């Protein structure tokens, strides 16, 4: 249960980074919601890896490079799920705000991420 709570905290941090970077890029640059979200997801993934590695899961015993590769593999897959759902929502519901689509997509990807990280990345 403690891992799930810490994972939720990491997800909250990632969500705040994702939403903050997305909002900043949409407000301050000419980037559209699709390219801005790709950049935001990359920042969020880096933030969650740092938190999950140090506070959520026990270290795997693998090298930092091997663990990082596994984390990146799960993270990229989860990000593709997240981005695919985000894009589908925006394209199918043109009036939907990008941040609302991000919330829905992020929750769906969170479930996938927890099982991937706990079973594939940080399991000894």
pLDDT at 115 over 90: no
- Of the pLDDT bands very low, low, confident and very high (cuts 50, 70, 90), residue 28 is very high
How many domains are there within the chain? 1
Range of the domain at 73: 1-122
pTM: 0.72
By C-alpha distance, which of 64, 38, 47 is closest to 121?
A: 64
The pLDDT, as a whole number, for residue 17 is 96
By C-alpha distance, which of 72, 84, 93 is closest to 37?
A: 84
Segment 64-73, tens digit of pLDDT: 788 888 888 9
Half-sphere exposure of 122 (CA within 13 A, CB side): 20
- Of the pLDDT bands very low, low, confident and very high (cuts 50, 70, 90), residue 124 is low
Q: Encoding tokens for residue 76?
A: 């990229």
């Amino acid at each position: 249960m403690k891992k799930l709570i810490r994972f939720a905290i990491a997800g909250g941090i990632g969500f705040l980074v994702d939403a903050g970077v997305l909002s900043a890029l949409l407000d301050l640059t000419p980037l559209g919601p699709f390219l801005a979200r790709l950049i935001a997801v990359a920042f969020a993934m880096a933030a969650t890896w740092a938190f999950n590695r140090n506070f959520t899961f026990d270290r795997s015993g693998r090298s930092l490079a091997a663990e990082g590769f596994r984390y990146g593999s799960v993270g990229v897959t989860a990000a593709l799920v997240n981005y695919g759902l985000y894009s589908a929502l925006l394209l199918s519901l043109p009036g939907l705000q990008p941040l609302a689509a991000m919330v829905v997509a992020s929750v769906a990807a969170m479930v996938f991420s927890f099982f991937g990280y706990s079973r594939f990345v940080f399991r000894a």
